[in-house]
């Protein structure tokens, strides 16, 4: 069913690329459009795909897709990309999507500026949608992305018990992943001036897909390998981050707590943590939680009228949980 | 006449501070509100002062100032501050306003995030003004600030003659300083729904004040000292930047060209450049150009109806040129 939007996604990258050209500075354009090159794999583009499919599912009675919702799909991907640029500088991540991250190619300075430039262009495109509620909704995303990154940098305080850590971690996931999907979907519905119930259902669909998506990402960091995910496996542990599989494992095996507290800094910590995770039901419980979120997403989307594109969104929620990369 | 707005400026810092609190992360709040502390000197606050005075001059028939224009003044200062945070990381500047710059206190990561957070909050506040033309106008500023910083990083290419360098430098000044003032003033007029001529006059006033302001800043970098300007003198030359006094001097003394080309990198370059500048009419011609811009600003503002606050704006344009810090 995604073939339906594949052509539109290709056009999307092209359209973003064109928007980003025409600066006085070729390096800025190049850096900002780094992930929108025709040759780049450009990531999964889950966010714009969701916006496009949802817009079509909401508009099922008409065959064409309004230009505004197409632009919204682009904006969601521009904001996402800007946050990747800044996060990769902040986290010192060397690869992204199987290629060097933007700051490795263009330097930290240009990565910061390219991120700012993407945010500026996104704001201008947003303003041109001429819907202040959408502007406010989409601006909230940027604030949430910052909050999420700060929460990740800081980590939960060591005095907290594992249950509280999990709450903290899930809130961080909402800010870093759920909010962008939730508020982009909400904005798609707002642009079409649909009734509140559909706006709300769209928001919930995006939020739960986002939460499921991040949980599966965290599992794949344990199960995946460099070739399939485009970033090195165990990147989270290496960065000192305890994600859901570790936090669930810690509930069964209290030996993990001190490792989490010292951010897996000692020699052998990472290997021991991996061992604990695979001995416990950490991976399985994370997958289970992802499935619960995917089902909530499906419940939400089934509130829309039945259509081919609604089916695609159900399929998308399923695929997010089943994906292996 | 500025006493008129001093109370409002104090309230402004307080209001921004309150808006920035209430994050989950105290360090983020602290970093973002670094320049809005009651104890900080907080800079000259020229931008919000212009917006406040201009709004009052436009609204001279009524005694109260609409809340929207007050918020706009805050937004202009938030955007300005965000760009200072990122620029100081990018340029590696160690001091700002006589105090350590934000990244020296909170680290690069937090400075990037605090800048993003300020931009996000500014976007949300903007959306709440519920005027899409204002959102678009103010978003353009952010794009211009990025372009200006990129132009400054890159520098004009060495093959260019000094006249072309000057054009490049002035365009960079518009992006880095003029645009924020021009578009903030324009937005103040847009918010009041004044006729196009007044919107245009407001824009020109802001633009010319901004250009004059930056030229005087560049002169003060030669004439000023650490104590009065809050940043070390000759900061521009030290950073390899040729500003107006140097570019004018180069028109009279061609020995300066190679120094500009190598960004004053060799031992003794800075001292020689200073000598050339003071031997030439570089400083005087820069001041003269600043006066021309200040006069254009006054011409623009005199298109408004006569009022006490219009007089204050004339005074402000004068003071920008006459300031010594």
Residues of chain B with pLDDT > 70, as a percent, come to 90
Q: Are B136 and A127 inside 8 Å of each other by CB?
A: yes
CA distance A193 to A44: 28
- The answer to ipTM > 0.90 is no
Q: In the predicted model, what is the mean pLDDT of residues B235-250? A: 92
pLDDT 10s digits, B64-115: 778 899 999 999 999 999 999 998 888 888 887 778 888 888 888 889 999 9
Enclosing H/E stretch for B58: helix B46-58
Q: What is the count of structural domains for chain A? A: 1
Angstrom CA distances, B91 to A1, A107, A295, B86, B314, stand at 48, 13, 49, 9, 34
pLDDT value, residue B102: 86
CA distance A225 to A183: 31
**What are the respective helix, strand and coil percentages of chain A, to the nearest 5?**
75, 0, 25
Whether the CB-CB separation of B203 and B179 falls below 8 Å is answered with no
Place of tokens 């020229």: B46
User: Among all residues of chain B, which has the CA nearest to that of A116?
Assistant: B146
pLDDT band at B40; cut points 50, 70, 90: low
Question: Which residues of B touch chain A, with CB atoms under 8 Å apart?
Answer: 23-25, 27-28, 86, 89-90, 109-110, 112-113, 115-117, 119-121, 123-124, 126-128, 130-133, 135-136, 139-140, 142-143, 145-147, 149-151, 153-154
Taking every pair of C-alpha atoms in chain A, what is the biggest distance, in angstroms?
Answer: 60
Distance of CA A247 to the CA centre of its chain: 21
Pairing state of beta strands A99-100 and B95-96? Answer: unpaired
Q: Are A27 and B154 inside 8 Å of each other by CB?
A: yes
CB neighbourhood size of A241 (10 A)? 20
Whether the CB-CB separation of B201 and B304 falls below 8 Å is answered with yes
Whether the CB-CB separation of B215 and B294 falls below 8 Å is answered with no
Q: What are the chain B neighbours of A147 within 8 Å (beta carbons)? A: 23-25, 28, 117
3-state secondary structure labels for all residues of B86-117: HHHHHHCCCEECCEECHHHHHHHHHHHHHHHH
Eight-class DSSP state of B24: S
Q: What are the chain A neighbours of B130 within 8 Å (beta carbons)? A: 132
What domain range is B274 assigned to?
Answer: 3-322
For chain A, counts of helices (H) and of strands (E): 16, 2
Q: How far is A124 from chain B (nearest CA, A)?
A: 5
pLDDT value, residue A40: 57
Q: Are B153 and A109 inside 8 Å of each other by CB?
A: yes
Whole-number average pLDDT of chain B: 87
pLDDT 10s digits, B136-178: 999 999 999 999 999 988 876 655 666 788 999 999 999 999 9
Q: How far is A240 from chain B (nearest CA, A)?
A: 16
Q: How far is A262 from chain B (nearest CA, A)?
A: 21
Q: How far is B302 from chain A (nearest CA, A)?
A: 31
Angle between helices B244-252 and B162-173 (to 10 degrees): 170
- Which of B51-55, B183-187, B222-226, B240-244 bottoms out in mean pLDDT, i.e. has the lowest? B222-226
Look up residue A230 and give its two tokens. Answer: 């485009």
Distance of CA A51 to the CA centre of its chain: 13
Of B282, B285, B303, B294, whose CA–CA distance to B323 is shortest? Answer: B294
Q: What are the chain B neighbours of A154 within 8 Å (beta carbons)? A: 25, 27
Q: What are the chain B neighbours of A168 within 8 Å (beta carbons)? A: none
Angstrom CA distances, A70 to A55, A56, A77, A222, stand at 9, 10, 11, 35
CA distance A282 to A272: 14
pLDDT band at B23; cut points 50, 70, 90: low
pLDDT value, residue A67: 86
Residues of chain B with pLDDT > 90, as a percent, come to 57
Eight-class DSSP state of A34: G
CA distance B235 to A38: 42
Look up residue B98 and give its two tokens. Answer: 């006589």
Residue A62, class by beta-carbon neighbours within 10 Å (0-12 exposed, 13-18 middle, 19+ buried)? Answer: exposed
User: Among all residues of chain A, which has the CA nearest to that of B129?
Assistant: A132
Distance of CA A67 to the CA centre of its chain: 24
Whether the CB-CB separation of B27 and B88 falls below 8 Å is answered with no
Beta strands in chain A (DSSP E): 95-96, 99-100
Q: Is the pLDDT of residue B225 over 60?
A: no
Q: Are A143 and B117 inside 8 Å of each other by CB?
A: yes
CATH code where residue B155 lies: 1.10.600.10
pLDDT value, residue A249: 93
Eight-class DSSP state of A99: E
Which one of A32, A78, A117, A127 would you mutate to disrupt binding with B, by most B Cβ within 10 Å of its Cβ?
A127
pLDDT value, residue A276: 92
Spell out the residues 6+ positions from residue B26 whose beta carbon is closer than 8 angstroms to its own. none
pLDDT value, residue B65: 75
Question: Which residues of A touch chain B, with CB atoms under 8 Å apart?
Answer: 23-25, 27-28, 86, 89-90, 109-110, 112-113, 115-117, 119-121, 123-124, 126-128, 130-133, 135-136, 139-140, 142-143, 145-147, 149-151, 153-154
Considering only CB atoms, B89 lies closest to which of A23, A112, A128, namely: A112
What residue ranges of chain A have pLDDT lower than 50? 226
Spell out the residues 6+ positions from residue A137 whose beta carbon is closer than 8 angstroms to its own. A183, A186, A187, A190
CB neighbourhood size of B198 (10 A)? 19
Q: Are A139 and B124 inside 8 Å of each other by CB?
A: yes
User: Among all residues of chain B, which has the CA nearest to that of A114?
Assistant: B146
């Amino acid at each position: 069913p995604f073939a339906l939007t594949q052509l539109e996604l290709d056009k999307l990258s092209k359209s973003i690329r064109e928007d980003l050209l025409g600066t006085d500075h070729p390096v800025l354009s190049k850096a900002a459009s780094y992930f929108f090159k025709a040759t780049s794999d450009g990531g999964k583009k889950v966010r714009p795909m969701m916006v496009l499919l949802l817009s079509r599912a909401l508009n099922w009675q008409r065959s064409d897709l309004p230009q505004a919702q197409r632009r919204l799909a682009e904006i969601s991907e521009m904001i996402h990309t800007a946050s990747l640029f800044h996060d990769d500088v902040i986290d010192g991540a060397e690869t992204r999507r199987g290629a060097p991250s933007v700051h490795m190619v263009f330097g930290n300075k240009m990565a910061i500026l390219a991120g700012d430039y993407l945010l500026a262009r996104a704001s201008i495109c947003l303003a041109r949608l001429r819907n202040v509620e959408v502007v406010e909704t989409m601006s909230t995303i940027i604030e949430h992305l910052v909050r999420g990154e700060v929460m990740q940098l800081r980590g939960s305080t060591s005095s907290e018990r594992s249950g509280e850590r999990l709450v903290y971690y899930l809130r961080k996931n909402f800010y870093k992943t759920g909010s962008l999907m939730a508020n982009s979907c909400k904005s798609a519905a707002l642009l079409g001036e649909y009734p509140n119930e559909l706006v709300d259902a769209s928001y919930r669909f995006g939020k739960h897909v986002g939460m499921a998506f991040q949980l599966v990402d965290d599992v794949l960091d344990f199960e995946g390998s460099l070739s399939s995910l485009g970033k090195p496996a165990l990147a989270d542990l290496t960065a000192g981050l305890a994600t859901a599989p570790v936090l669930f494992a810690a509930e069964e095996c209290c030996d993990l707590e001190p490792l989490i507290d010292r951010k897996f800094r000692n020699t052998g910590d990472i290997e021991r943590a991996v061992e604990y995770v695979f001995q416990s039901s950490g991976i399985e419980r994370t997958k289970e939680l992802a499935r619960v979120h995917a089902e909530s997403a499906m419940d939400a989307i089934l509130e829309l009228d039945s259509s081919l594109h609604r089916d695609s969104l159900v399929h998308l929620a399923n695929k997010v949980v089943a994906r292996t990369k």
